[in-house]
């Protein structure tokens, strides 16, 4: 910390401290010399504070904490307490230096990602020459080169056979990610192997690292309720304190036999101890430290207001496909109706599902490609949201989708069922049921541990899925999910979250992919997007972004949010209680100016030190994240 203090400040404070000690020790020095030394020391430490105080007063018509300190020193000088006048300013400035250091450390924790954004990119032109240009000048489709140990400046697909990339600053995982040829590497990672080349897929303004930096820089604007309350109260607080101090100083006018000097000294104690620095600085520092700790585990929170909400979470709802489960469906069984064949079923389903991007459709398309199923041309394709898809194949009207959808089209409720529990995709041709495919989707690694952690935190888990009752019940039973909603259409998810919020004490979070679930993410008290490296939809719709697909990060983030909120409350209660005690003792004449200085600077330092504990909560070590 001492290294961060400039020489001029060190000399000013050292000189003022020496003069203050001389005055306290009452050394036998010529009175004029003593007065001259005091004047020099006072100007050295008071100049910036007094100027700032009166600038704020006359230009912005506000009384700042500098104004409180200035008035307190004027009063001390009037009473002849020169050492005390210097002490107020010296320790106030020392406190300011300490607070600036602590604030810098907290900000460094959360803004360290900015250092991962290179200022120069190596672009390979058509002739194979390497050109060094600014990231903003690189266009999608161009080839860039990343040397070993360099950060990936822009998102791009890998042209090499493989690459090892350290993503720890983004995901909190210390083990490098292994990428294969053709896979997209997000910007912000560090190339751990040999030289690699990428084909740029996102320009600078839309790159993963740019969006994350924007998220971090905006986080400070979203203040928690305690922060916002303190910020608003500070505007009215200082004038109120000055008024109370004036009333104290004037007590001898109304009470006979009282000394003006005694009551002025009590008023000075009131002014010094009432400085709001301890609260104004330690509470935001607590939240900023919490933001930094949570970012270390690969979770980005968009401001301290969401840390507060996260800490109070009572219900967490999750989308099933791709959030709880892997979203990698595999055909497990086939239903073939009499008069139809498996090849007809696969041919119809393949033709229509090839026009969709849903994970179920992708799984069916991949299966058909591997097994050599002929891809027929489908026309007049029409998607029925939440139900299925329709189209014309070989002049016949084909429908593919959920059991309810096909039952409606065939006017039948006795369609064949499989003994295998899974997600069904049924098909009909010209209103005739031909069969269906049953697909399985396994839970993500760590899903069971995730739901166990939620339960230990006292949070009710809830799954929302468009799947049928049996599939939802099976997943819920396997993973210990306490509540679930099955057969939900996209618009029904919003109703489900609102239903969960009907309880007056419920604070509801929702976990989704941040793209299809934007309305639900926005409607929940806290929206959490999974595995989104800077996706525009994820960042805009959610309040919290988990940088990879590890569900276990969420309970960790909730635990850290609770510790952060508890830390901020500790500081608020501790500071207010101590200051009130000193105010009462000061008004009674028991506590003097030195106790008041401790009540200002001492409490501030203690509160800031307490807030800085958040910076030590998470340590990333080789082999994993430890919190």
pLDDT tens-digit readout, 168-224: 766 666 678 889 999 999 888 889 888 999 999 999 988 888 877 776 666 655 666
Q: Which residue has the tokens 């799984």?
A: 363
User: For 298-446, where are the alpha helices, taking DSSP H only?
Assistant: 304-311, 342-353, 359-370, 403-410
Question: At 156, is the pLDDT very low, low, confident or very high (cuts 50, 70, 90)?
Answer: very high
Global pTM?
Answer: 0.75
Q: How many CB atoms lie within 10 A of CB 9?
A: 15
As a whole-number percent, the residues of the chain with pLDDT over 70 amount to: 89
Of all helices (H) and strands (E), which one includes residue 15? helix 7-25
Burial of 110 (0-12, 13-18, 19+ CB in 10 A): buried
Distance between CA atoms of 556 and 602, rounded to whole angstroms?
A: 33
Read off the tokens for 67.
């104004």
Distance between CA atoms of 486 and 58, rounded to whole angstroms?
A: 64
User: Pairing state of beta strands 156-158 and 196-200?
Assistant: antiparallel
| Per-residue pLDDT tens digits for 259-268 | 888 898 888 8
Sequence-distant (≥ 6) Cβ neighbours of residue 387 within 8 angstroms: 401, 402, 404, 405, 489
DSSP 383-423: EETTTEEEEEETTEEEEEE-HHHHHHHHT-S-----SS-SE
- Lowest mean pLDDT, pick from 45-49, 375-379, 540-544: 540-544
Residue 102: pLDDT over 70: no
Identify which has the larger pLDDT, 621 or 434. Answer: 434
Nearest to 196 by CA among 209, 213, 178, 170: 178
Distance between CA atoms of 425 and 436, rounded to whole angstroms?
A: 5
Q: State mean pLDDT over 379-388.
A: 87
Catalytic residues: 319
pLDDT of residue 65: 75
Residue 622: pLDDT over 60: no
Domain 330-440: assigned CATH number: 3.40.1110.10
Of all helices (H) and strands (E), which one includes residue 428? strand 423-429
pLDDT of residue 426: 95
User: Pairing state of beta strands 299-301 and 544-546?
Assistant: antiparallel
| Per-residue pLDDT tens digits for 335-361 | 999 889 999 999 999 999 998 878 889
Angle at 623 between CA 621 and CA 627, to 5 degrees: 50
Q: Which residue has the tokens 């101590």?
A: 578
Tally: H helices and E strands in the chain: 22, 24
Query: Which of 456-470, 557-571, 611-625 shows the highest mean pLDDT?
Result: 557-571
Strand partners, 144: 123, 198
Distance between CA atoms of 500 and 519, rounded to whole angstroms?
A: 15
Sequence-distant (≥ 6) Cβ neighbours of residue 130 within 8 angstroms: 122, 123, 124, 145
DSSP 577-623: HHHHHHHHHHHTT-S-HHHHHIIIIIHHHHHHHHHGGGGGS-EEETT
Q: How far is CA 149 from CA 193, 249, 469, 477, in A?
A: 8, 66, 50, 46
pLDDT of residue 626: 46
Residue 108: pLDDT over 50: yes
Q: State mean pLDDT over 239-266.
A: 86
Strand partners, 299: 546
pLDDT of residue 109: 56
pLDDT of residue 104: 67
Domain 118-152+154-206: assigned CATH number: 2.70.150.10
Q: How far is CA 16 from CA 35, 42, 87, 580, in A?
A: 13, 7, 9, 30
Q: State mean pLDDT over 298-316.
A: 89
Question: At 51, is the pLDDT very low, low, confident or very high (cuts 50, 70, 90)?
Answer: very high
Strand partners, 461: 316
pLDDT of residue 450: 96
Q: State mean pLDDT over 59-75.
A: 81
Nearest to 178 by CA among 161, 153, 197, 200: 161
User: Domain boundaries in the chain?
Assistant: 2-110+221-287+563-621, 118-152+154-206, 330-440
Distance between CA atoms of 589 and 274, rounded to whole angstroms?
A: 16
Q: What is the mean pLDDT of the chain?
A: 85
As a dihedral over the C-alpha atoms of residue 567, residue 572, residue 575, residue 580, rounded to 10 degrees, the angle is -150
Helix, strand, coil percentages in the chain from 3-state DSSP, rounded to 5: 55, 20, 30
pLDDT of residue 59: 83
Q: 426 and 403 in contact (C-beta within 8 Å)?
A: yes
The one-character DSSP state at 152 is P
pLDDT of residue 198: 95
Q: How many CB atoms lie within 10 A of CB 141?
A: 10
Of all helices (H) and strands (E), which one includes residue 510? strand 508-512
The one-character DSSP state at 54 is H
The one-character DSSP state at 325 is B
Identify which has the larger pLDDT, 615 or 560. Answer: 560
pLDDT of residue 126: 87
The size of the chain, in residues, is 627
Q: 186 and 157 in contact (C-beta within 8 Å)?
A: no
Residue 480: pLDDT over 80: yes
What angle in degrees, to the nearest 10, is found between the helix axes of 31-59 and 7-25?
130
* CA 218 to chain CA mean position, Å: 10
pLDDT of residue 84: 85
Sequence-distant (≥ 6) Cβ neighbours of residue 262 within 8 angstroms: 589
């Amino acid at each position: 910390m001492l290294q961060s203090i400039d020489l001029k400040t060190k000399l000013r404070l050292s000189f003022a401290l020496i003069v203050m000690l001389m005055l306290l020790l009452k050394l036998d020095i010529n009175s004029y010399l003593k007065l001259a030394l005091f004047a020099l020391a006072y100007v050295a430490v008071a100049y910036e504070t007094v100027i700032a105080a009166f600038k704020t007063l006359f230009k912005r018509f506000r009384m700042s904490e500098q104004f409180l300190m200035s008035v307190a020193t004027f009063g001390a000088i009037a009473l002849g307490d020169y050492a005390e006048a210097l002490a107020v300013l010296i320790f106030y400035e020392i406190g300011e230096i300490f607070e600036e250091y602590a604030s810098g450390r907290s900000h460094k924790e959360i803004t360290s990602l900015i250092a991962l954004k290179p200022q120069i990119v190596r672009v390979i032109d058509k002739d194979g020459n390497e050109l060094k240009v600014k990231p903003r000048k690189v266009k999608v489709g161009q080839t860039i080169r990343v040397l070993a140990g360099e950060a990936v400046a822009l998102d791009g697909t890998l042209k090499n056979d493989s690459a090892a990339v350290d993503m720890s600053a983004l995901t909190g995982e210390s083990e490098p990610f292994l990428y294969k040829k053709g896979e997209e590497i997000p910007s912000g990672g560090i190339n751990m192997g040999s030289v690699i080349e990428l084909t740029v897929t996102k320009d600078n303004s839309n790159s993963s690292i740019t969006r994350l930096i924007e998220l971090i820089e905006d986080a400070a604007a979203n203040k928690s309720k305690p922060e916002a309350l303190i910020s608003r109260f500070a505007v009215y607080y200082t004038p109120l304190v000055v008024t109370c101090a004036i009333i104290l100083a004037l007590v001898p006018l109304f009470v006979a036999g009282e000394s003006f000097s005694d009551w002025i000294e009590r008023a000075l104690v009131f002014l010094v101890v009432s400085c709001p620095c301890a609260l104004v600085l330690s509470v935001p520092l607590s939240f900023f430290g919490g933001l930094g700790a949570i970012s270390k585990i690969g979770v980005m929170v968009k401001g301290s207001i969401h840390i507060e909400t996260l800490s109070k979470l009572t219900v967490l709802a999750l989308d099933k496909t791709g959030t709880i489960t892997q979203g990698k469906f595999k055909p497990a069984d086939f239903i073939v109706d009499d008069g139809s064949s498996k090849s007809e079923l696969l041919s119809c389903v393949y033709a229509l599902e090839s026009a969709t991007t849903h994970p179920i459709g992708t799984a069916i398309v991949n299966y058909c490609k591997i097994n050599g199923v002929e891809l027929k041309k489908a026309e007049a394709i029409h998607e029925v949201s939440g139900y299925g898809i329709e189209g014309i194949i070989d002049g016949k009207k084909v429908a593919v989708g959920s059991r309810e959808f096909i039952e409606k089209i065939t006017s039948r409720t006795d369609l064949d069922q499989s003994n295998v529990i899974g997600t069904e995709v049924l098909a009909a041709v010209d209103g005739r049921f031909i069969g269906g495919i049953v697909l399985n989707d396994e839970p993500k690694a760590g899903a069971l541990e995730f739901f166990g952690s939620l339960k230990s935190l006292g949070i009710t888990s809830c799954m929302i899925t468009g799947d049928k009752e049996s599939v939802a019940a099976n997943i819920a039973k396997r993973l210990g999910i306490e509540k679930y909603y099955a057969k939900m259409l996209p618009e029904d998810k919003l109703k489900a979250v609102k239903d969960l919020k009907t309880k007056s004490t419920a604070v509801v979070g929702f976990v989704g992919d941040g793209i299809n679930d934007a309305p639900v993410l926005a409607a929940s008290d806290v929206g959490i997007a999974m595995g989104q490296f800077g996706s525009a939809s994820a960042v805009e719709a959610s309040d919290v972004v988990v940088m990879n697909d590890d569900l276990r990060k969420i309970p960790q983030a909730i635990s850290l949010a609770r510790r952060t909120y508890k830390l901020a409350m500790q500081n608020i209660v501790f500071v207010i209680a101590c200051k009130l005690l000193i105010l009462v003792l000061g008004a009674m004449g028991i506590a003097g100016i030195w106790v008041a200085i401790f009540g200002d600077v001492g409490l501030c330092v203690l509160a800031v030190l307490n807030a800085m504990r958040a910076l030590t909560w998470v340590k990333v070590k080789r082999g994993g994240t430890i919190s």
